[in-house]
Amino acid sequence: MDNPEYEARTEESAQDHTEEVSSRIRDLIGIAGKTTEPGALVDGYADCPGGDDTFRVRHAWSIFELPKAELREGMDRLRDRLPENGWKISKDEPDSSRNKNREIVAKHPKNGFFLKASLRLKPDDSSAPSLMAVTLVSPCYRKTSETD
């Protein structure tokens, strides 16, 4: 099935583009803790119409090893800066977990990216680190090759 309404990209190009958008999100957060290393990955189970001819890219990462106050400030900056950069926030409230972690959900109407950021602050007596988890999901793309 041909899906001309989706932008045609190679998987590598879509991954690179998703990582660029992700880097801009890190800049909006404005804190410099440790970040997880894995890059953007093609989602083999994407919900795009078109089956094997379409795909999305997901980039999940987190920032950690920072004081809770800095993580909170980063989440506040993200909330303030997303709308200034074209994002529409649909949620900024506690999630449904037992810890009621603060969660921001947003979509960029022009580029089609979806963002979910969660602030996971651990109790002081916990050995687990507090962190900010971010998942960025691309719009659907139509697969193409370098030779198309």
Task: Tell me if 1 is assigned to some domain.
Answer: no
Q: pLDDT, tens digit, for every residue of 41-95?
A: 898 766 888 777 889 999 999 999 999 999 999 999 999 999 999 999 999 999 8
pLDDT of residue 75: 96
pLDDT of residue 96: 86
In the predicted model, what is the mean pLDDT of the chain?
90
With respect to residue 87, please indicate whether it lies within any of the assigned structural domains.
yes
Q: How many domains does the chain fold into?
A: 1
Instruction: Residue 71: give its domain's CATH number.
Output: 3.30.2000
Quick one: residue 77, left, alpha or beta (phi over 0 = left, psi -120 to 50 = alpha)? alpha
Residues of the domain holding 43: 7-143
Q: Let me know if residue 148 belongs to a domain.
A: no
pLDDT for res 147: 58
Query: Which of the pair, 96 or 27, is modelled with greater confidence?
Result: 27
